[in-house]
A and B are shown apart, each in its own frame.
Chain A
């Protein structure tokens, strides 16, 4: 069974600064995707970034980038130039490509303050 662990229940960062959210996972699968989802107070799940396990290159989406260490089963999210609108819950998630099921970590509550 796959597990996803987020060891930081809460994080805070000053506007314009950089913050890194941690995520580790455990799986015996080789074919999978990893995601970071953002859940603002509206509770709508918003995809932040996706990483295919077979790709060595770290995914990047504007101010968001990941550090994917496959051997270590680590998948951290870096948010650069943090904005007030980044305040939200962030969930790391694992998708088994054979089942398309998403397994979520426990989440990290990020607060960006002025």
Chain B
């Protein structure tokens, strides 16, 4: 199956700094990627849809200025958590639809801890 690589797998940052998370489709092109957030022992909540060559679309309640998404190429989407605070600590996961759009392929996830 298709491979989605997410980096870093974990990061610790100081409050007030920004953190960038990368999501790459390794063996296929993805015009769309999705970013999810998962709190401990909870489900995946869709944050936004990343669109190659255009602006991301955000789900209701997600701050666009806090979570900056850039889809610079057909294989790379980035999520930047700006001015991070402890409440932004969470597990972030990206996914991309396969070429047949019949399933989603997930990155390994990034555990963000803001101290």
- B-binding residues in A (CB < 8 A): 33, 35, 42-45, 47, 50, 52, 91, 95, 97, 99-107
From B44, B49, B102, give the contact of A33 (CB < 8 A).
B102
Contact between chains at A91 and B43 (CB < 8 Å)? yes
Total A-B Cβ pairs within 8 A: 49
Contact between chains at A102 and B46 (CB < 8 Å)? yes
CA distance A91 to B38 in the complex (A): 12
From A44, A52, A102, give the contact of B104 (CB < 8 A).
A102
From B42, B102, B106, give the contact of A45 (CB < 8 A).
B106
Question: Whole-angstrom distance from the CB of B91 to the nearest CB of chain A?
Answer: 6
Return the chain B residue nearest A45 by Cβ: B106
* CB-defined A-B contacts under 8 Å, sample of 16: A35-B103, A42-B108, A43-B38, A45-B95, A45-B106, A50-B102, A50-B103, A52-B102, A95-B103, A97-B101, A101-B46, A101-B49, A102-B46, A104-B44, A106-B42, A107-B42
Question: Whole-angstrom distance from the CB of A41 to the nearest CB of chain B?
Answer: 12
* Cβ–Cβ < 8 Å partners of B93 in chain A: 43, 45
Contact between chains at B104 and A95 (CB < 8 Å)? yes
Question: Whole-angstrom distance from the CB of B112 to the nearest CB of chain A?
Answer: 13
Contact between chains at A44 and B44 (CB < 8 Å)? no
* Cβ–Cβ < 8 Å partners of B45 in chain A: 104
Return the chain A residue nearest B108 by Cβ: A44
Q: Using known A-B contacts A100-B32, A101-B46, A107-B43, determine if residue A43 contacts B109 with beta carbons closer than 8 Å.
A: yes
* Cβ–Cβ < 8 Å partners of A100 in chain B: 32, 34, 97, 101, 104
From B34, B49, B91, B103, give the contact of A47 (CB < 8 A).
B103
Query: 7 smallest A-B Cβ distances: which pairs?
Result: A45-B106, A100-B97, A104-B43, A104-B44, A106-B43, A43-B109, A107-B43
* Cβ–Cβ < 8 Å partners of A33 in chain B: 102-103
Return the chain B residue nearest A99 by Cβ: B49
Interface string of B18-56 (1 = CB under 8 A from A): 000000000000001010001000111110010000000
Contact between chains at A103 and B91 (CB < 8 Å)? no
Return the chain A residue nearest B109 by Cβ: A43
Contact between chains at A101 and B43 (CB < 8 Å)? no
Contact between chains at B46 and A103 (CB < 8 Å)? yes
